[in-house]
Amino acid sequence: MDNEDSSFESSEMLASFLTSTPLLSESWRLCDLANTMPSQGFVAEQTGSVGYLAFSGVQLVAGPDPTSARNLEPLVTSAIGLFSPLQHQIDGEEEEGQEPVMVHAGLLRVFLSVYSNPSFQNQMLKILEKSKSIVISGHGIGGTTAGLCALWLLSYLQSISSTISVLCITFGSPLLGNESLSRAILRQGWAGNFCHVVSKHDLVPRLLFAPLAPLTPQLHSLLQFWQLSMTSPHFALLAAKLPDESKAEIFHTVLASLNGLTQAEEGKKVNCGFWPFGNYFFCSEDGAICIDNATSIIKMMHLLLLSSSPSCSIEDHLKYGYYVRKLTLQVLTRTSFPPWELPESSYEAGVALALQSSGIACQDEHVAPPAKACLKLPRRTGRTPNLNCANLAIKLSKIAPYRAEIEWYKASCDQSDDQMGYYDSFKQRGASKRGSKVNMNRLKLARFWDNVINMLENNDLPRDFRRRAKWVNASQFYMLLVEPLDIAEYYRTGMHRKKGHYIRHGRERRYHIFERWWKERPIKEEEQKTRSKFASSTQDTCFWARVEEAKEWLDNVRDESDPRNQARLWSDLDNFARYASELVERKEVSKDVVAKNSSYCLWVRDYEELKSQFVGAPQFPSIMDREVVS
């Protein structure tokens, strides 16, 4: 069967499964225990092969500016080496206007403080030694600490190729980071490792959706105080002391912000620094549902809050123990339908049951219709990831002729009497039919591989897709064969004069991704052997872009009058000359690089000639007399 079940069915199944296991109750028990031990910050337990770690929600968010409750800072630059897989997910994206992966600055400092604690390090070592599965949990800001701990642990386990599974369960946790963080977690295949339990009325998980500006000075100060109170050891006390008018003002501000976010897709651009990730487990008096689509999560947060009041939104943050006990007993409420209200199909029946589990009455004319639409929104249609992968393999075989034609073109260029080579022949192809056909094939292959990346990022392919040898090798072969053509076209059309040089301003994102796949693959022993002949394709796929930059440096050094700038240019030229010579010596280039009239060989002649004019300058070893081994 090609089509998967609709998302509300799978979300209710996940909610039912989770409440029928001891995971929720054990996680909350330890969170409750951790909250009574704020000085340590966490508690750990071992149950068979499952290790439990719970973080206290009673912690102060310290920082250089304690008056700020909303600072976002880059995750990787703030915690170098701890979250490197998430940094890899944004390679090449800043050029397209994407933000780096960022998290709440104060909440990150809380985690780093716990992480640097020798007691935490010792407990983690013990858990890793004894566990096949690790469950990390936390309440309130303990939930954000748990989330960061899970991200660190997933990064570490990936680096050592460990099979230990990780599950993070949070209760009433504030938002942690921006949309780039959510997207990076999704691409890494870690979204399923996070389950955020959010009660129907709790304001804390929704609070950071509310902007601090533009607001009246009074409301700005009030909302900032509330957001700081959220991270205080005395949250319940501070919240209870707020006047009813202040509570109502904050409540309606958050509600209005959520309403604005749900309208964004209708043309209202809303700037929100924080974004949800993973699965959200919405619980109420009537049951629970799980949702994993970020847009649907925000809409459901808004719809559930519509039926709340300022007072119960504060109280609900402290009632997760009650909800866990209630859900564990009832699992999910299943209500039968009277004969006159029977849904038209099993699909509609499933929607109605999910609606009841969320605590929204079907009779509520203001909330029920948009809630139904929200539950239907993330429904997966089309093929399952494994079927998509199989279908993609068929499409890969169908594009083989395009690759074959480009390979034939490369071979004919390398054997041509003009001795220009593959890169320069394509760059100077003029209006030839053969060159135009190769260019069309280049564009068709690019569309195929861009579609592969889009499917992977939309979770339409298996999570281990990027590690499967078939696709790693196919993407690397494509990159070696086609990126030189992309570089040639970039400089042929003068894009370097409009945008800047290729490597920093013109390289397509797909190449950054494929390069990372190749670096992360297991290296075979034969790959480490010394080459006896030139490679079929130059191993540095950006080699020709480096040549183009070096040609510009050579032109600039002739006209440069400032001795300091001239010295810098000569240093760049010498470094490239040394790098290129080493590639040729190791035979890691295709023989078109050392073709007599290639751009590289012409550059070497100009470089040697110009350098000979500088008295006392060290000479670059010539490659003109090297024998090309075919």
d(CA 426, CA 484): 9
The owner of tokens 């790959």 is 527
Contact (Cβ atoms closer than 8 angstroms) between residue 501 and residue 424: no
Please give the residue that has the higher pLDDT: either 341 or 133: 133
Phi, psi of 612 (to 5 degrees): -65, -20
C-alpha Rg value of the chain to the nearest Å: 30
Query: Looking at the structure, do residues 246 and 133 belong to the same domain, yes or no?
Result: yes
State how far the alpha carbon of 245 is from the alpha carbons of 218, 227, 234, 249, in Å: 12, 17, 21, 6
| 310-to-212, 218, 227, 358 alpha-carbon distances in Å | 19, 18, 15, 19
Asked whether the beta carbons of 577 and 610 are under 8 A apart, the reply is no
In a domain, 215, yes or no: yes
What does the angle CA 467 – CA 473 – CA 476 come to, to the nearest 5 degrees? 110
- What's the start-to-end Cα distance of the chain, in Å? 51
Whether 205 maps to a domain, the answer reads yes
Whether the CB-CB separation of 506 and 548 falls below 8 Å is answered with no
- pTM, 2 dp: 0.66
The residue from 350, 377, 404 where one domain ends is 377
Q: 126: which 2 tokens?
A: 């013990």
pLDDT in tens, 129-138: 999 999 999 9
Alpha-carbon gap, residue 108 to 74, rounded angstroms: 10
Whole-number percent of the chain with pLDDT over 90: 39
Nearest to 104 by CA among 128, 58, 70, 77: 70
Give the mean pLDDT of 255-273. Answer: 64
Q: Are 53 and 123 in contact (CB under 8 A)?
A: yes
Split at pLDDT 50, 70, 90, the class of 427 is very high
Extended strands (E) in 448-544: none
Q: Which residue has the tokens 């919240």?
A: 239
Which residues, in sequence order, are bridge partners of residue 282?
Answer: 198, 289
Q: What angle do CA 62, 249, 222 make, to 5 degrees?
A: 30
- The reply to whether 324 and 427 lie within a common domain is no
Q: What is the pLDDT of residue 230?
A: 52
Q: Which residues pair with 197 in a beta bridge?
A: 171, 281
* Statement to judge: residues 363 and 394 lie in one domain: no
Residue 400 has pLDDT above 50, yes or no: yes
Element (H, E) at 238: helix 235-241
Looking at the structure, do residues 365 and 401 belong to the same domain, yes or no? no
Alpha-carbon distance 274 to 102, whole Å?
Answer: 9
Examine the pLDDT at 627 and tell me if it is beyond 50: no
Question: Is residue 45 in some structural domain?
Answer: yes
Residues 323 and 451 in one domain: no
Helices 368-376 and 294-306, packing angle to 10 deg: 160
Q: In terms of domains, do 396 and 313 share one? A: no
261-270, 296-305, 382-391: the lowest-pLDDT one: 261-270
Q: pLDDT for 123-179, tens place per residue?
A: 999 999 999 999 999 998 899 999 999 999 999 998 888 889 999 999 999 899 998
> CA–CA separation, 48 vs 614, rounded Å?
74
Owner of token pair 């209202």: 268
| Residue 29: both structure tokens together | 């028990």
User: Is residue 281 a part of any domain in this protein?
Assistant: yes
Q: Please tell me the distance from the alpha carbon of residue 106 to that of residue 97, in angstroms, as a whole number.
A: 25
Q: Which residues contact residue 267 at a Cβ distance below 8 angstroms, ignoring those fewer than 6 apart? A: none
Tell me, yes or no, whether 139 and 229 share the same domain.
Answer: yes
- 361 and 490 fall within a common domain: no
Which CATH number belongs to the domain containing residue 308 in this structure? Answer: 3.40.50
The residues facing 275 across adjacent strands are 177
Strands 102-104 and 50-55: unpaired
Span 9-27, mean pLDDT?
Answer: 74
Cβ contact 196:182 at 8 Å: no
Whether residues 135 and 221 share a domain: the answer is yes
pLDDT for 267 equals 43
Q: Report whether pLDDT(481) > 80.
A: yes
Query: Do 404 and 356 belong to one domain?
Result: no
242-247 mean pLDDT: 70
Q: Is the pLDDT of residue 224 over 60?
A: no
Domain containing 54: what range? 11-60+70-86+103-266+275-333+340-377
Place of tokens 């509609």: 348
Q: Is residue 628 part of a domain?
A: no
Q: In this structure, are 492 and 522 located in the same domain?
A: yes
In a domain, 3, yes or no: no
If you average pLDDT over residues 489-500, what whole number do you get?
Answer: 94
Q: Would residue 154 count as lying in a domain?
A: yes
Q: Is the pLDDT of residue 394 over 60?
A: yes
CB atoms under 10 Å from CB of 339, counted, come to 6
Residue 257 and residue 173 share a domain = yes
Q: What is the mean pLDDT of the chain?
A: 80
3-state helix/strand/coil string of 150-190? HHHHHHHHHHCCCCCEEEEEEECCCCCECHHHHHHHHHHCC
Residue 47 lies in a domain: yes
* Structure tokens that stand for 293 in this block: 């689509």
d(CA 84, CA 182): 15
Q: Which of 464, 471, 499 is nearest to 395 (CA)?
A: 471
Count of the separate structural domains present in the chain: 2
Cβ pair 35, 318 in contact under 8 A? no
The predicted structure's pLDDT at residue 79: 65
In whole angstroms, what is the distance from residue 32 CA to residue 171 CA? 11
